[in-house]
Amino acid sequence: MFKKALLLSLLIIFIDQFIKIYIKTHFIIGEEYAVSGNWFILHFTENNGMAFGMELEGMWGKLLLSSFRVIAISGLGYYVYHLCKTNANKGFIISMTMVFAGAFGNIVDSVFYGAIFNDSYSQVATFMPAGGGYSSLMFGRVVDMFYFPIIHGYFPKWMPMWGGEPFEFFSPVFNFADFAISSGVGVMILKQKTFFADEKKQAEIKSEEAIN
C-alpha cells in the first residue's frame, strides 16, 4: 500500500505543479480565461497563506506559516507511512495521502516560488530570471486559479446585516492542491465511522493477542 500511496502523492503533486507553473508562466495577475461560460473561470491570483486565499498578515506571519507547513508536512508524511506499515484502512490511507500531497504542493510554492520566479504584476513571470526572484526562500506566494462563480444574486432585503447585498457562490479562488486537501478531508468526514471502526477492530485484535 505504501507504493500506491507514494504514486498517488507524486501524481497529485505533479498535476498541481504543472497547472501552477503553466498559469504562472502564461498569465498576468488578475488575468482570466473562461473555460466554460461564466461559471468555470481560470483566474490567476496569488496569496501568502492558507487554502482558499486565507492568510496570516506580515513578514513574520508568512515565515511562521511557511515554517509550520514544513513541520506539519513532515508529520503528515510520517503518519501516512505509519498507516501503510500498520495495514490501516485503505480508504483512510488514500484520504490522508490526498491531504499530505495537497499540503506538499502548496509548500512548494511557499518555499521556492519566491526564489525561482519573478513577480507576475504587469508581466508574465519567467523561471529563474536573471535578476533573481520576487522574494527569497520561505517567502513565496501560493498560486491559485480555479474560480467557480456558479450563482450570482442578492440577499433578501429582510435579512439582517446583509439584506439587499450581492452574493456569489462559489467565490474563493483555489488550486488543485486545495482541492486534494478538501477532498481528502471530506471523504474522512463522510467515512469516519468505517475508517475508525476498522482501527478500533485492529486495536482490539492486537489487545486480545497480547493477552493470549
Name the phi and psi angles at 36, rounded to 5: -145, 100
Model pTM above 0.85:
no
Q: Is the pLDDT of residue 200 over 50?
A: yes
Looking at residues 167-175, what average pLDDT do you find? Answer: 83
Percent of the chain surpassing pLDDT 90: 58
Helix or strand run (H / E) with residue 76: helix 58-85
pLDDT score of 194 more than 50: yes
Side-chain half-sphere CA neighbours of 162 within 13 A = 7
Query: What pLDDT score was predicted for residue 148?
Result: 93
CA dihedral 207, 209, 210, 212 (to 10 degrees): 120
Active-site residue, 16 included: no
Residues 131-144, mean pLDDT to the nearest whole number:
91
pLDDT at 128 over 80: yes
User: Residues 109, 119, 144, 198: which is the catalytic one?
Assistant: 144
> Which tops the pLDDT comparison, 57 or 7?
7
Catalytic residue among 16, 109, 119, 178: 178
Q: For residue 178, indicate whether it is catalytic.
A: yes
- How many of the other CB atoms lie within 10 Å of CB of 114? 22
Give the residue among 153, 73, 150 at the shortest CA–CA distance from 108. Answer: 73
Q: What is the mean pLDDT of the chain?
A: 86
